[in-house]
């Protein structure tokens, strides 16, 4: 039991001291058994306060410390490092939260807040008395990373990992890299094209010997632990023999086009969001790489017509399965665009109502004049927040990028075609940061912005062959305004990828918005609760290209920092099984969300075994054990019961 404990009570400026009498708290706990010294400090996390704690540990020979301040989520590792620098085991330190759990929660009753703070600190002291000097768990690690998704975020993460000396396997479900960016032409705010961005990244990936790219590839299973995962992938062939590089052979490109023309199968083209069609044999767009055709075998009838013109067609290619030995995984699976409900604003019932992604592809498919269904388009209505900021439904979040994307597309259309008139029906424009200049440019171009509230959305009607959009405009004191338009563009939200099996395989938690969840948006923005699995880009939230790239660089640096020593230190706060008490009822194994508990033989009987490299110390197995054979290291029954006894006084 610890008998020389140092207590430090933080004022946190005035966040704590305005509501908690910190001097009274110090006086109350200073006389407890085992307390060697008790101090108050303005900011415990400041350099000067940290140095004072280090000197106390050394000079007073403290064997444990308690810091009463803010949430451990903010400064747990700050004070653990203070303990280490002072020569104290970091697990002989306890942090008590008297800010979020006390002063902020009870700011209306300072007297009671002070009483509660005393009890919380006393409970922390009782716990640290029974703390043990723990040692992190060391496991070997493989300095290889699997990056899932070869969009902008995935390629950027792969390139950065390689530059730091990490071997990378980059897999992409489609046969072409680039993700959504390859579908866009001019990008805000640089006005680069998607093709330029994708090609620049793909060129680096292709030439990098540290990066192995697999297209047409999906993750199907994963086993193992951080540092030593085995990921099983399946590779769907292109059904085209190697060497069919149409980028370098004009004659080959002509033969390919003849083969495509000969294909009798015609299906909706997902690259153009189904406003155009493609054949079962199809080639890449200029913004897609590698420059090699592919066959959609789900649609192909194996008629063999294409083989008459293209000798590279090989319909006998087989799916391949590979096991990749890796140390970490970065998930960059991107996003889908929201698909509006049929009839919403006339979608799928009126033939001139499309989504913003379809409109952006329409601009690329029309060079001289903007036409759709053989009609010349001049007047365009943009209806914002379709599938975003919903009062009813799942997508209550703001997708953030939609306003800027719609305004940028409107500017692009107006600069490319003559006589375009843009009408923006919005719930408030959110062009944050430098993107505000695009909003200003649209206003200068003469675009009309009409604002509605959520209770009175616009109505889209077809009368006498004319499409009208009517709104009660907030900006003109609720005047009802109608615009006659040729095309209605629904500005749709970002949503998580459909049919994304990665979450289930990797057990990545998802939020209420169904995007992947990080541990903490500020403190651990690309890390998940599964050690060794990171997320980046638009799979975790609506991001633009710049934001996706930054998160990719962050994920890459985190993965490399973890693996580069080829040894990983894990938290020792894990479940521990008493071999004498355990009777293997299997309850703990069934409840464990991480599959960290298995059965083993011990002295002729079956007992539970905890895999130290998998266990996260969540504690879910403890209450289901009838024999009380499980304890959580660092949160033992003795420690927790001593805290309860003190709180109950």
Q: How confident is the model at residue 225 (pLDDT cuts 50, 70, 90)?
A: confident
Question: Mean pLDDT, to the nearest integer, of 351-360?
Answer: 97
> What is the bridge-based pairing of β-strands 167-172 and 144-148?
parallel
For 137, list phi and psi in degrees, rounded to 5. -85, 125
* Helical axes 47-59 vs 72-85, angle rounded to 10°: 50
**Whole-angstrom Cα distance, residue 262 to residue 285?**
19
What confidence tier does 553 reach under pLDDT thresholds 50, 70, 90?
Answer: very high
DSSP 305: T
* Nearest alpha carbon to residue 125 among 18, 25, 22, 24: 25
What angle do helix axes 545-563 and 152-163 make, rounded to 10 degrees?
Answer: 40
Lowest-confidence segment of 171-180, 533-542, 561-570 by average pLDDT = 561-570
Chain-centroid distance of CA 379 in Å reads 38
Cβ(496)–Cβ(514) below 8 Å: yes
Question: Stretch 525-544: mean pLDDT, rounded?
Answer: 95
> For position 340, what pLDDT does the model report?
95
Q: How many CA atoms lie within 13 A of 350 on its CB side?
A: 25
According to the model, what pLDDT value does residue 247 have? 78
pLDDT at residue number 334: 96
Q: Which residues share a beta bridge with 221?
A: 232
What pLDDT, in 10s, does the model give residues 366-396? 999 999 999 999 999 999 999 999 888 789 9
Residue 143, burial from CB neighbour count under 10 angstroms (0-12, 13-18, 19+): buried
223 forms bridges with which residues in the sheet? 230
**Are the C-beta atoms of residues 145 and 327 closer than 8 Å to each other?**
yes
Q: Name every residue whose Cβ is closer than 8 Å to that of residue 401 and which is 6 or more positions away in sequence.
A: 494, 542, 543, 544
CA neighbours within 13 Å on the CB side: how many for 440? Answer: 7
Spatial distance between the Cα atoms of 427 and 443, rounded to a whole number of angstroms: 16
For the stretch 206-222, pLDDT in tens is 999 999 999 999 999 99
β-strand pairing of 281-282 with 294-295: antiparallel
Flag whether pLDDT at 241 surpasses 80: yes
Question: Please, which pLDDT band fits residue 11 given cuts at 50, 70 and 90?
Answer: very high
Q: What is the 3-state secondary structure (H, E, C) of 464-479?
A: CCEEEEEEEEHHHCCE
Beta bridge pairs of residue 313 = 240
The stretch 502-507 carries a mean pLDDT of: 92
pLDDT score for 475? 94
d(CA 642, CA 315): 70
- CA pair distance 80, 270, nearest whole angstrom: 52
Return the pLDDT at 584: 95
Least confident of 239-253, 257-271, 476-490: 239-253
Domain ranges of the chain: 5-129, 135-236+319-334+509-567, 238-315, 340-495, 571-633
Does residue 359 sit in helix, strand or coil?
A: helix
Query: Chain-centre distance of CA 529, in angstroms?
Result: 12
Q: Could you tell me the fold of the domain covering 5-129?
A: Rossmann fold (3.40.50)
Per-residue pLDDT for 116 more than 80? yes
Average of pLDDT values for 284-297?
93
pLDDT of residue 649: 83
Contact 233, 219 (CB under 8 A): yes
Residues belonging to the chain:
649
Q: What pLDDT does residue 243 have?
A: 85
Residue 124 is given by DSSP the state H
Would you state the pLDDT for residue 499? 77
Q: Residue 228 has which token pair?
A: 């030593």
The per-residue pLDDT for 532 is: 94
Handedness of CA 640, 642, 647, 649 (dihedral sign): positive
The predicted pLDDT at position 263 comes to 97
Reply yes or no on domain 340-495 having CATH 3.50.50.60.
yes
Percent of the chain predicted with pLDDT > 90: 90
CA distance 430 to 388: 13
Q: Which CATH number fits domain 135-236+319-334+509-567: 3.20.20.120, 3.40.50.620, 3.50.50.60, 3.90.1150.200?
A: 3.50.50.60
Helix (H/G/I), strand (E/B), else coil: 315:
coil
| 571-633 maps to CATH 3.90.1580.10 | no
5-129 and 571-633 have identical folds? no
Return d(Cα 229, Cα 565) in angstroms, integer: 17
Q: What is the CATH number of domain 238-315?
A: 3.30.70.20
pLDDT digits (tens, 9 = 90+) for 131-157: 999 999 999 999 999 999 999 999 999
CA distance 85 to 80: 9
Q: Look over the chain and give the mean of its residue pLDDT values, rounded to a whole number.
A: 95
Could you tell me what percent of the chain has a pLDDT over 70?
A: 100
- CA dist 646 and 125 (Å) reads 9
Average pLDDT estimate for 105-109: 96
Q: What is the dihedral of CA 70, 72, 78, 84, to 10 degrees?
A: 120
Q: Rounded to 5 degrees, what are φ and ψ at 12?
A: 50, 55
- Per-residue pLDDT, 249: 82
Determine the pLDDT at residue 191: 84
Residue 248 has pLDDT above 80, yes or no: no
**Full DSSP string of 577-620:** E-TTT----SHHHHH-TT--EEEEEETTEEEEEE-TTT-----T
């Amino acid at each position: 039991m610890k008998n020389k404990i140092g207590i430090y009570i933080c004022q946190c400026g005035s966040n704590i001291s305005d509501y908690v009498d910190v001097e009274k708290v110090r006086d109350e706990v200073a006389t407890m058994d085992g307390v060697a010294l008790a101090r108050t400090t303005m900011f415990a996390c400041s350099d000067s306060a940290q140095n004072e704690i280090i000197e106390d540990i050394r000079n007073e020979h403290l064997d444990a410390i308690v810091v009463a301040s803010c949430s451990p989520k903010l400064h747990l590792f700050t004070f653990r490092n203070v303990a280490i620098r002072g020569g104290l085991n970091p697990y002989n330190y306890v942090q008590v939260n008297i800010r979020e759990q006390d002063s902020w929660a009870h700011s209306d009753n300072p007297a009671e807040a002070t009483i509660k703070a005393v009890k919380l600190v006393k409970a922390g002291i009782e716990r640290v008395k029974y703390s043990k000097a723990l040692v992190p768990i060391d496991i070997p690690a493989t300095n290889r990373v699997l990056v899932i998704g070869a969009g902008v975020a995935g390629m950027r993460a792969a390139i950065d990992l390689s530059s730091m000396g990490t071997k990378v396997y980059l897999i992409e479900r489609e046969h072409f890299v680039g993700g959504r960016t390859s579908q866009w032409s001019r990008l805000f705010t640089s006005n680069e094209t998607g093709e330029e961005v994708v090609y620049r990244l793909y060129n680096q990936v292709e030439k990098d010997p540290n990066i192995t790219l697999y297209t047409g590839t999906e993750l199907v299973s994963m086993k193992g632990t951080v540092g030593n995962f085995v990921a099983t992938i399946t590779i769907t062939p292109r059904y085209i023999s190697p060497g069919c590089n149409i980028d370098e052979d004009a004659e080959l490109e002509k033969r390919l086009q003849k083969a495509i023309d000969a294909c009798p199968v015609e299906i909706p083209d997902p690259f153009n969001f189904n406003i155009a069609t493609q054949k079962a044999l199809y080639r890449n767009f200029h913004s897609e790489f590698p420059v090699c055709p592919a066959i959609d075998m789900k649609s192909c009838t194996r008629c063999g017509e294409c083989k008459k013109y293209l000798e590279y067609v090989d319909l006998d290619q087989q799916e391949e399965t590979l096991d990749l030995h890796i140390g970490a995984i970065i998930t960059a699976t991107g996003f889908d665009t929201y698909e509006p409900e049929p009839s919403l604003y006339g979608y799928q019932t009126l033939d001139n109502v499309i989504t913003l992604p379809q409109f952006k592809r329409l601009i690329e498919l029309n060079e001289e004049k903007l036409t759709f269904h053989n009609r010349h388009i001049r007047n365009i209505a943009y209806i914002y927040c379709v599938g975003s900021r919903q009062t009813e439904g799942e997508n209550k979040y703001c997708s953030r990028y939609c306003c800027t994307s719609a305004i940028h597309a409107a500017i692009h259309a107006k600069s490319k075609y003559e006589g375009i008139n843009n009408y923006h029906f919005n719930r408030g424009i959110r062009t944050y940061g430098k993107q505000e200049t695009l909003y200003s440019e649209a206003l200068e171009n003469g675009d009309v912005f009409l604002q509605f509230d959520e209770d009175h959305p616009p109505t889209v009607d077809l009368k006498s062959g004319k499409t009208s959009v009517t709104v009660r405009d907030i900006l003109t004191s609720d005047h009802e305004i109608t615009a006659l338009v040729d095309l209605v563009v629904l500005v749709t939200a970002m949503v998580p990828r459909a049919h994304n099996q990665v979450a289930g395989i990797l057990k990545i938690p998802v939020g209420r918005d169904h995007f992947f969840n990080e541990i903490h948006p500020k403190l651990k923005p690309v890390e998940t609760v599964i050690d060794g699995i990171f997320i980046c880009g638009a799979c975790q939230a609506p991001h633009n290209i710049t934001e996706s790239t930054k998160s990719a660089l962050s994920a890459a640096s985190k993965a490399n920092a973890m693996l580069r020593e080829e040894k990983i230190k894990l938290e020792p706060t894990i479940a521990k099984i008493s071999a004498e008490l355990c009777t293997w009822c299997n309850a703990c194994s069934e409840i464990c969300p991480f599959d960290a508990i298995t059965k083993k033989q011990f002295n002729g009987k079956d007992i539970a075994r905890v895999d130290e490299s998998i266990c996260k110390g969540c504690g879910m197995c403890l209450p289901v054990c009838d024999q009380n054979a499980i304890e959580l290291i660092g949160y033992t029954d003795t420690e927790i019961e001593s805290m309860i006894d003190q709180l109950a006084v």
